[in-house]
Amino acid sequence: MQLEKQTEELDAREDRNERFADVQPIVKYNNITKSFGELEVIKGVDLELYPGEKIAMIGPSGSGKTTLGRLLMTLEEPTGGTIELDGELLWHMEVKGKLVRADEKHLHRMRGKVGMIFQHFNLFPHMNVLRNVTMAPRTVLGLSREEAHDRAITMLRKVGLEEKLEVYPSQLSGGQKQRVAIARALVMQPKVMIFDEVTSALDPELVGEVLEVIKEIAREGEMAMLLITHEMEFARDVADRIIFGAEGRIVEQGTPEQIFENSQSERLQSFLGRFAGAASQSL
């Protein structure tokens, strides 16, 4: 029975991976490098993310995972290489046949295609839950009060917070705050969502409820998702593909089965070994 279920899951995952074979990527990093002063933290990364694909990015602390997300969110500018988003260059534009740095107008328009959720929720403390979620659709997308309200309610229902519309962030648990932050990003209907270690600031007992919400969004959605995480079980459950990065490079990538059951590089084996050690210690 158990074996049957596993086989079904594998088949479903293979079907999904085949689905990406004929489509254009929604995101494409081309030989991306990023330095902070003398420190080169991204060292020539090529990565494609397909519409609807869920990629989990794992790797040691300081390996450049967050920086890759921030480059796509236009919070950091690449030092070298290009990023394509939804068929257009993100950081560059062509002027008179030459590639130049994109202007603010272009960056602003492109930024609207991406949503990012951070470790710290950054809610507006003086606004209730509903206003936190309707704020950007009203001001950035120019939606009417009713449209923004309807969209916000749909998203707050999705994250299980439709009962908390009038409540202020200080009255919410960490898990609830993070779910508001997720609704606030979803309401903008981005094409790509980046989740950056969204549970690492939470008390352990609140981690599960947030991961469940993300899994649900992943299951239903056509949205591409980049999930930066230290939660290995979650990565295994949710991802179509896992990227293992270390010291600014992609060292290995594959399906969860390939990464967790058949890892090739010593670097990945030792990384996963450390996790297994930590898990058995905490039992």
Ligand X SMILES: Nc1ncnc2c1ncn2[C@@H]1O[C@H](COP(=O)(O)OP(=O)(O)OP(=O)(O)O)[C@@H](O)[C@H]1O
Binding site for ligand X (CB under 6 A): 36, 39, 41, 59, 61-67, 197
Smallest distance, Å, CB 114 to ligand X?
Answer: 17
Smallest separation, CB 64 to ligand X (Å) = 4
CB of 270 to ligand X, least distance (A): 16
Give the separation between CA 93 and CA 111, rounded to whole angstroms: 14
Q: In the sheet where 39-49 sits, what is the strand order?
A: 39-49, 27-36, 80-85, 88-89
Nearer to ligand X, 86 or 197 (CB): 197
SS3 of residue 144 by DSSP: coil
Three-state DSSP class for residue 30: strand
Give whichever of 233 and 261 is closer to ligand X, judged by the CB atom.
233
H helix and E strand count, the chain: 10, 12
Looking at the Cβ atoms of 59 and 137, the one nearer to ligand X is 59
Radius of gyration, alpha carbons of the chain: 19
Q: Which is nearer to ligand X, 41 or 136 (CB)?
A: 41
Choose between 38 and 220: whose C-beta lies nearer to ligand X.
38
Which residues fall within 8 angstroms of residue 16, CB to CB, at 6 or more apart?
A: 52, 53, 240
Q: Which is nearer to ligand X, 20 or 271 (CB)?
A: 271
Phi, psi (deg, nearest 5) at residue 256: -55, -40
Measuring CA to CA, which residue among 222, 155, 162 is closest to residue 187? 155
Q: How far is the CB of 190 from ligand X (least distance, A)?
A: 20
| Closer residue to ligand X in complex, CB, 63/132 | 63
* Tokens encoding 230: 């230290």
Give the residue with the Cβ less far from ligand X, 67 or 178: 67
Strands 80-85 and 54-58: unpaired
Point out which residues pair with 28 in neighbouring strands. Answer: 48, 84
| Residue 159 one-letter amino acid | V
Please report how close the Cβ of residue 228 comes to ligand X at its closest, in angstroms.
Answer: 6
**Range list of β-strands (E), the chain:** 27-36, 39-49, 54-58, 80-85, 88-89, 92-95, 98-101, 114-117, 192-196, 224-228, 241-246, 249-254
Tell me how far, at minimum, the Cβ of 219 lies from ligand X, in Å. Answer: 26
